[in-house]
């Protein structure tokens, strides 16, 4: 893995006076460790089990009777019943988990596995992740810390902080650096615990405020001890349960300068192993560049991809079309010749009709002609027969004319 | 604060395969292609109309000629059959069941075109009690493909709503429009197989007026088996 040749610079601030950079130090390699919430969650859930105290139910609870079952034939359930008489308890069911005053189902034992072993490397991985997360402002903010007014994150402060002895001085420093808002939040949100812990000496619940990490305790521990929400820790023994409370990464940490510098030695880098944890190198990320969207959209990737297949929208939708034999527009779309065909058929029909009409007319005419002609013949015959009475008729005609 | 476009989006737009110019070009090409297809369709439809007419007339001619000479004209045996499955799927023995599957007759009142040759005739022999079949004429083939013709596109059944659909799939077999398809099926051309497999099996309605009895063969006043040219009247009732 190629390390960053150029390490980013972090400003060191004084503990009073003016908020300005008095020095600049390089960012230790730990802060570039991969941020793995899954690892932190796993380690945290198991680590949190390690400060549990054993509890169990009394071994004799519910068993301190000499109850025996009455057997069958007595019109009662076959559960063991308390022997004897003269008291309300006699004849009552005993022993079963369903019985009143009986022992519970699977009585809890002290030899339950209370603690969990976690692989050392996993523990160290989680701590590295958690430390890296403390430098990521969005993570710290999402954890709920009020870090808007800070000059910088990670917040590194001069070593003079380690020599503070008075709480007043500590509070003044926190106000000076802009971290007191977080403390105010803690004070404001102090509540009575919900649940039975309140009468088990765990009455109040406090949020977590800033954590001050030092290299040498020259009074700093006592100075910050009484400020609600603030925790102190030595850089040599950073606790995951404090770095990622509730397995939520991004604790607000105030580093002293020497503590900050020591991180490089304590956790090492990818090239140089840790000086304090034997054989430990910083964990390597699975992906160096996790901005997957950016990788996919980069020129190097996009130019090598094949063209996107065109979405064949024409076949995509369920297309309903009308019946071509009822809707002419659909028919013409499928068979552009159809209209012409109909026309031609029509023309042909009309032509045939005309021809037929002609033939019919012709034959009708012929028939009529024939009829007329035959009538004429008949008339002529009739005329020949009636020739005798013709003169009389003529005379009559003449007389009419007169 | 001015609206800033993310760099990745800017790059994407520049690189985009769906940019306006590309889309415009594609659209123009498509419009041109559609025009070509429609003009081809017109010309071919005209050609086929003539062809069908000539065929009919030729048949009549030959028959008349034979009559004049005092001999007989034996018509060519039919090449195309249309099969309709008229029995359901319950209680079908394995051999007919398999053959019906092979012919894509998987449900009742489904119909397919089939090329008639010795092998297919033997297949029909086995499934006679479950189907009725006959020799469709041009108008029947047309009605089926126009009204009930669905294409098999991307393993899906899509109604044929434009010649473009046919062009896309069957262009390499020189079938570009509906009339081409009808012609290929009706005359059982060189690419009958591809034209037929392009078509999804026809889903017909139960016949208007009903069947007499499917249990008997058509010859025995029933419905199943070969009914030659009477398939045309049946399809009209079922289409």
Q: pLDDT tens across A69-98, in order?
A: 999 999 999 999 999 999 999 999 999 999
Predicted complex ipTM: 0.86
Residue A111 contacts B where some CB pair is shorter than 8 Å: no
Better-scored residue on pLDDT, A273 or B3: A273
Closest CA to A293 of B10, B8, B13, B14: B8
Query: Residues A114-120: what's their mean pLDDT?
Result: 97
Does the pTM of the predicted model rise above 0.90?
no
Q: Residue A335 is nearest to which of B8, B45, B153, comparing CB atoms?
A: B45
Q: Residue B146 is nearest to which of A293, A299, A325, comparing CB atoms?
A: A325
d(C-alpha B175, C-alpha B171), whole Å: 5
Backbone dihedral region for residue A310 (phi beyond 0: left; psi -120 to 50: alpha; all else: beta): beta
Residue of B nearest to A321 (CA): B161
Residues of B with CB under 8 A from a CB of A: 8, 11-12, 15, 17-18, 38-39, 41-42, 45-46, 49, 143, 146-147, 153-154, 156, 158-165, 177-179
Closest CA to A145 of A255, A251, A256: A251
Strand-pairing partners, residue A305, are none
- At B10, the pLDDT band (50, 70, 90 cuts) reads confident
Q: What is the bridge-based pairing of β-strands B202-203 and A68-69?
A: unpaired
Q: Which of A223-232, A287-296, B129-138, B190-199 has the lowest mean pLDDT?
A: A287-296
Residue A297 contacts B where some CB pair is shorter than 8 Å: yes
Q: Do B158 and A315 touch (CB under 8 A)?
A: yes
Yes or no: say if B96 and B127 are a contact pair by the CB < 8 Å rule. Answer: yes
pLDDT at A5 over 60: no
Instruction: Please tell me the distance in Å from B148's CA to the nearest CA on chain A.
Output: 9
pLDDT digits (tens, 9 = 90+) for B105-141: 999 999 999 999 999 999 999 999 999 999 999 999 9
pLDDT digits (tens, 9 = 90+) for A320-349: 788 999 999 999 999 999 999 999 999 999
pLDDT, averaged across chain B? 93
Secondary structure letter of residue B217 according to DSSP: B
What are the tokens at B62? Answer: 């030959």
Yes or no: say if B127 and B81 are a contact pair by the CB < 8 Å rule. Answer: no
Q: Is the peptide bond before A49 cis (omega within 30 degrees of 0)?
A: no
């Amino acid at each position: 893995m190629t390390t960053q040749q150029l390490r980013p610079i972090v400003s060191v601030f004084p503990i009073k006076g003016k908020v300005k950079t008095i020095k600049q130090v390089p960012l230790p390699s730990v802060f570039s460790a991969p941020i793995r919430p899954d690892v932190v969650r796993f380690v945290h859930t198991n680590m949190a089990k390690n400060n549990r105290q054993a509890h169990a139910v009394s071994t004799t609870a519910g068993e301190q009777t000499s109850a025996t079952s009455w057997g069958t034939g007595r019109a009662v359930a076959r559960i063991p019943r308390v022997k004897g008489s003269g008291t309300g308890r006699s004849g009552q069911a005993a022993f079963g988990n369903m019985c009143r005053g009986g022992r519970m189902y699977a009585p809890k034992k002290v030899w339950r596995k209370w603690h969990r072993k976690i692989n050392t490397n996993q523990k160290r991985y989680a701590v590295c992740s958690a430390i890296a997360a403390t430098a990521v402002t969005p993570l710290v903010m999402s954890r709920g810390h009020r870090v808007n007014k800070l000059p910088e994150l990670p917040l590194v402060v001069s070593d003079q902080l380690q020599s503070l002895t008075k709480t007043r001085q500590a509070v003044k420093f926190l106000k000076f650096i802009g971290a007191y808002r977080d403390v105010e939040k803690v004070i404001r949100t102090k509540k009575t615990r919900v649940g039975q812990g309140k009468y088990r000496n765990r009455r109040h619940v406090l949020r977590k405020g800033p954590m001050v990490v030092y290299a040498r305790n020259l009074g700093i521990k006592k100075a910050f001890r009484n400020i609600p929400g603030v925790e102190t820790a030595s850089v040599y023994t950073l606790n995951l349960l404090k770095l990622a409370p509730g397995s939520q990464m991004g604790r607000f940490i105030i580093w002293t300068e020497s503590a900050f510098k020591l991180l490089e030695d304590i956790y090492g880098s990818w090239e140089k192993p840790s000086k304090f944890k034997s054989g430990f190198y910083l964990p390597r990320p699975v992906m160096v560049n996790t901005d997957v969207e950016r990788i996919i959209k980069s020129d190097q990737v996009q130019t090598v991809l094949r063209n996107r297949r065109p979405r064949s929208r024409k076949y995509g939708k369920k297309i309903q079309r009308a019946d071509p034999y009822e809707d002419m527009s659909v028919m013409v779309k499928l068979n552009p010749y159809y209209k012409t065909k109909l026309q031609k058929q029509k023309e042909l029909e009309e032509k045939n009709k005309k021809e037929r009409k002609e033939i019919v007319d012709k034959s009708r005419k012929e028939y009529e002609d024939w009829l007329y002609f035959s009538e004429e013949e008949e008339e002529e015959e009739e005329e020949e027969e009636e020739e005798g009475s013709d003169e009389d008729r003529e005379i009559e005609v003449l007389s009419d004319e007169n | 604060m001015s609206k800033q476009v993310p760099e990745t989006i800017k790059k994407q737009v520049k690189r985009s395969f769906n940019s306006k110019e590309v889309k415009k070009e594609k659209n123009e090409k498509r419009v041109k292609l559609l025009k070509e297809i429609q003009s081809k369709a017109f010309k071919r439809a005209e050609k086929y109309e003539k062809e069908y007419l000539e065929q009919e007339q030729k048949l009549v001619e030959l028959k008349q000629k034979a009559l004049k000479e005092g001999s007989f004209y034996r018509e060519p045996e039919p090449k195309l059959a249309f099969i309709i499955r008229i029995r359901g799927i319950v209680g079908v023995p394995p051999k007919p069941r398999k053959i019906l599957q092979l012919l894509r007759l998987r449900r009742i009142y489904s119909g397919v075109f089939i090329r008639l040759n010795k092998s297919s005739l033997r297949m029909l022999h086995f499934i006679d009690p479950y189907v009725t079949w006959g020799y469709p004429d041009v108008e029947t083939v047309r009605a089926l493909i126009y009204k009930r013709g669905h294409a098999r596109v991307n393993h899906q059944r899509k109604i044929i709503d434009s010649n473009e659909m046919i062009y896309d799939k069957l262009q390499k077999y020189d079938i570009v429009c509906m009339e081409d398809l009808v012609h290929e099926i009706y005359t059982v051309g060189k690419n009958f197989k591809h034209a037929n497999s392009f078509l999804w099996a026809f889903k017909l309605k139960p016949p208007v007026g009903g069947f007499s009895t499917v249990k008997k063969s058509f010859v025995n006043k029933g419905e199943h088996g070969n009914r030659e040219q009477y398939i045309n009247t049946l399809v009209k009732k079922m289409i």
